[in-house]
Amino acid sequence: MDFNLSKEHLELQAKAKEFTETVLFPHEMECEENDGISRETHQKIIDATLAWGFNAPNHSKEDGGQGFSIFEQTILNEQLGKATGAIWDALWYPSYPMRFATQAQKEEYLIPTCQGKRRDAYAITEADAGSDPTQCMTRADKVEGGWKINGEKWFVTIGDIADYILVHAHVDGDSTKPTVFFVEKNLPGVELKRTPLYTHHFAFKHPEYIFNDVIVGEDKILGEIGQGYDMTKDWFVEARLGIAARCVGGAIRAAEEANKFAAERIQFGQPINNFQAIEFMLADMGVEIMAAKSMLYRLSWEIDQTSDRKLNHAKAAALKLYCSEMVGRVCDKAVQILGGRGYMREQAVERLWRDTRVDRIWEGTSEIQRVIISGQIKKRGLDIYTGW
């Protein structure tokens, strides 16, 4: 058994670290002070992403992506997670379910998205359909030549810059027929309802959209009628792994900032890292990160080895739960170590503390992850999580 990273993995890690520090870090305060980044900054990051070979890591080279394995994506995402303001989202991951697209759909949507010429958003959440997507009220009804979509979607992340949306709707209003449709944002009936403000100052927004008698063609169905939940689960696995990796990266940066400050900050005639209260906080941070990173790397490798959708979904839930809660604890300690400085927006630890709070909410709350985990324990036994 060998836990060492290969030469190629170490090179990817170093490259991703350099990209994050040289391309993303310089725009953190622009994002913080302006609640987003300018079009010019966004285009600059797009150009850099293409030049560095980090565009669409999750899709095949045949479709214009980089064809990274899950483990390679984890190595990349860990470094990206060190950047505040979710500037990492300027580096795009086209929605996983587009792997199920027809060749014509790939040529219209996936390939240009992988190339940075288009951008997608995924719309599933609604006012009354969050943790329970079966309560989705958005519906698609058959009409001559296609489908008529009506409904409202919330938290459409990147919806402000996307030019098309993957809309999760129930055919005929039937929750047993969840289906995903390609919807161009410029179609008649697609309306931006509002763009709420959030605790964080992310590079891109999470607007709400209304779909009022929006007509799309028969060729706009992604996959098959009724396949929506299965594709969404695949998307959740990828999204939750990405969140977990970025949480580990964010925790590492917060801990490094706190450790550096504690070594340099002099109080009562000595560095504050000489005081046991600070020593113990740093010790706890290091152990938590070590445990999370070990879990992250192991499960990323395991998920690469199997196509068992339910097993991967179960393991991704555990990983997302632990890493998202871990980063909250680590960032809180980092803020405490920096004291008043830790509460200043100009400090990375403050922004990480605020940014990472959403990781316990989006792509499935901590409580939903526990529901998934406990359900799998009942079905498969504890060995699914405690075995090797």
The H or E element that residue 75 is part of is: helix 70-80
pLDDT of residue 15: 99
286-326: pLDDT as tens digits = 999 999 999 999 999 999 998 888 899 999 999 999 999 99
pLDDT of residue 28: 98
> Does the structure show a pLDDT above 80 at 71?
yes
233-276: pLDDT as tens digits = 888 899 999 999 999 999 999 999 999 999 999 999 999 999 99
pLDDT of residue 4: 92
Could you tell me the pTM of the whole model? 0.96
> Does the structure show a pLDDT above 80 at 1?
no
CATH topology of domain 228-386: Butyryl-CoA Dehydrogenase, subunit A; domain 3 (1.20.140)
pLDDT of residue 309: 86
Residue 131 — very low, low, confident or very high, per pLDDT cuts 50/70/90? confident
> Quick one: 40 exposed, middle or buried, by C-beta within 10 A (0-12, 13-18, 19+)?
exposed
178-191: pLDDT as tens digits = 999 999 999 999 99
* 219 C-beta neighbours (distance < 10 Å), count: 11
Structure-model confidence comparison of residues 307 and 193, the more confident one: 193
In the predicted model, what is the mean pLDDT of the chain? 96
The H or E element that residue 136 is part of is: none
Residue 232 — very low, low, confident or very high, per pLDDT cuts 50/70/90? confident
Torsion (CA) 384, 295, 76, 101 in degrees, nearest 10: 10
Average pLDDT over residues 105-124: 97
> Does the structure show a pLDDT above 80 at 224?
yes
Contacts (Cβ under 8 Å, ≥6 apart) of 37: 27, 30, 31, 45, 85, 87, 90, 203
pLDDT of residue 72: 98
Gap between the Cα atoms of 220 and 23, Å rounded = 36
Q: What is the CATH number of domain 120-222?
A: 2.40.110.10
Average pLDDT over residues 157-169: 97
Residue 130 — very low, low, confident or very high, per pLDDT cuts 50/70/90? confident
pLDDT of residue 339: 98
The proportion of the chain whose per-residue pLDDT surpasses 90, expressed as a percent, equals 94
Question: Residue ranges per domain, the chain?
Answer: 7-94, 120-222, 228-386
Average pLDDT over residues 319-342: 99
The H or E element that residue 301 is part of is: helix 276-305
* 202 C-beta neighbours (distance < 10 Å), count: 23
CATH topology of domain 7-94: Butyryl-Coa Dehydrogenase, subunit A; domain 1 (1.10.540)
Average pLDDT over residues 347-366: 97
